[in-house]
Structure formats: C-alpha cells, structure tokens
Amino acid sequence: GENVEQHPSTLSVQEGDSAVIKCTYSDSASNYFPWYKQELGKRPQLIIDIRSNVGEKKDQRIAVTLNKTAKHFSLHITETQPEDSAVYFCAAIGGATNKLIFGTGTLLAVQP
Amino acid sequence: NAGVTQTPKFRILKIGQSMTLQCTQDMNHNYMYWYRQDPGMGLKLIYYSVGAGITDKGEVPNGYNVSRSTTEDFPLRLELAAPSQTSVYFCASGNTGTSYEQYFGPGTRLTVT
C-alpha cells in the first residue's frame, strides 16, 4: 500500500523567511496530493492540493510542487507570518478507494 | 450547512467499557472516513465507507467496528476499550464525483483509563 514520508518533523523560521516541507510517496498510482494545516486542538484544514497532471500550483503565499518521476512533492510558504505556526500534514491518495495516507506532520514555528 | 459534526467532544472510558462515536454530515457526500490521531502524530485511517451499506478497513481497524445505514451517518463503535485507544478521533467526508477533498469534523477526544 501507499506510504508517505515527511521531512522535517520540526521547522523554525524567522518571520518573513520562507519555509519548505518535503514529502515522498511510494505508490506511483497516487494521483492527488493535499496539504493540511492543523492548529493546536483543531481539525485539519485543507490549504492547497495538487493533482498528478500538474507540476506546480500556487495560492498567494503558498505553493506546492510535484515531481512524479521522483515521487516527491513539497509545500512552500513564502513571507511567513506568526499565524502560519501550526502542524502541516502532507497526504497522498489514489485508486478507487480514495484512501488518504498521511505523512507524520511538520511542526512549523514562525518566530516574530 | 453544518458540515461534519461529531459527538461527543470529550469522553473518558474505563478499560473494557464500550461506546459509540457519532458522525453526521449534511453535504450528501458518498465517502466517509474515521481517523485516529495520537499525540504528536499524523492521522491513521481506521475505517471508511464508499456509500450506504458499504464499509472497509483502513490501516488500523482492530478494536473498532462501523456501520453505514444512511448516507449521512457513520458511527464508530469501540467494543472493549483499551488504553491504546486513547486518541483524538476525526470523522471526515468527501464526494469523489467532484473532488478528492475531505472535510473533517471537529474531533472527539477519548481517554481510556
């Protein structure tokens, strides 16, 4: 089955800097890659997603890139702000069952 | 739309007790899911359903049961609670006809002592 690895597990950046979180997946049939943000004590919220027929997608300060050959995808946050501090999860999905397999999460701390 | 709702928000169980976690969605989604999230960890899929009357196991199904008699409801049953089941449980729903996006409920925090 699908396996998703996520790095780093923790990331501390200064306000205004960029943050990059990387994930790899194992199932070449996976075709959808969402990123979720989870604030302390809250539910995961979808922040951006990408499908396998697209190499890059951007939404304001957030972008996701996908390298299907290497089975890598990454989340890029530019001009980080303190409110970006949270745990970020990548995930991969594929096949007929739509089972999301999550990475282990990255705790992002943006220092003011 | 209320989206995905879960009850209860919190629960403390003694070892060996049973309980049902309720999940309801009002978005007419065909897919529903149960995840558990242990402290500091990612989400693990327990069970999922692709429509009323159809359920299947996820990554960590042992100790749980589900049913899906209606499109809206997807309860999760713990029969003999164990300390290893202490976790936060999230229900989610989605509609593959239009999107892979999954919408999460607010979660149930369960402690088994």
Q: Cα Rg for chain B, rounded, in angstroms?
A: 13
Query: For residue A100, which residues of chain B lie inside 8 Å, CB to CB?
Result: 33, 43, 45, 102
- Give pLDDT, residue A3: 87
Say whether pLDDT at B4 is over 70: yes
Q: Which of A4, A3, A14, A7 is nearest to A106 (CA)?
A: A7
CA distance B102 to B109: 20
- Stated as kind and residue range, the H or E segment containing A48 is strand A45-51
Average pLDDT of span A98-110: 91
Of A43, A46, A97, Cβ closest to residue B101? A46
Asked if A104 lies within 8 A of B104 by C-beta distance, the reply is: no
CA distance A52 to A83: 29
Q: 3-state DSSP call for residue B58?
A: coil
Which residues make beta-bridge pairs with A33? A50
Which pLDDT tens digit goes with each residue over B27-78?
Answer: 999 999 999 999 888 899 999 998 999 999 998 999 999 999 999 999 999 9
Of B33, B42, B94, Cβ closest to residue A89? B42
- Closest-CA distance, B43 to chain A, in angstroms, reads 6
* Cβ pair A56, A65 in contact under 8 A: yes
Contact partners, residue A93, CB within 8 Å, separation at least 6: A2, A30, A31, A32, A33, A34, A99, A100, A101, B100
CA distance A106 to A86: 8
Contact partners, residue B4, CB within 8 Å, separation at least 6: B23, B24, B25, B27, B91, B92, B93, B103, B104, B105, B106
Query: For residue A34, which residues of chain B lie inside 8 Å, CB to CB?
Result: 100-102
- Closest-CA distance, B15 to chain A, in angstroms, reads 25
**Residue of chain A minimizing CA distance to B46:** A99
- Cα-flanking dihedrals φ and ψ of residue B84, to 5°? -65, -15
Query: For residue A89, which residues of chain B lie inside 8 Å, CB to CB?
Result: 42-43
* Cβ pair B35, B97 in contact under 8 A: no
Cα–Cα distances in Å, from A89 out to A79, A101, B20, B37? 20, 10, 27, 12
Residue A8 — very low, low, confident or very high, per pLDDT cuts 50/70/90? very high
Say whether pLDDT at A97 is over 70: no
Percent of chain A with pLDDT over 70: 96
- Give pLDDT, residue B2: 82
**B97 has a chain A CB within 8 A of its CB:** no
CA distance A44 to A35: 9
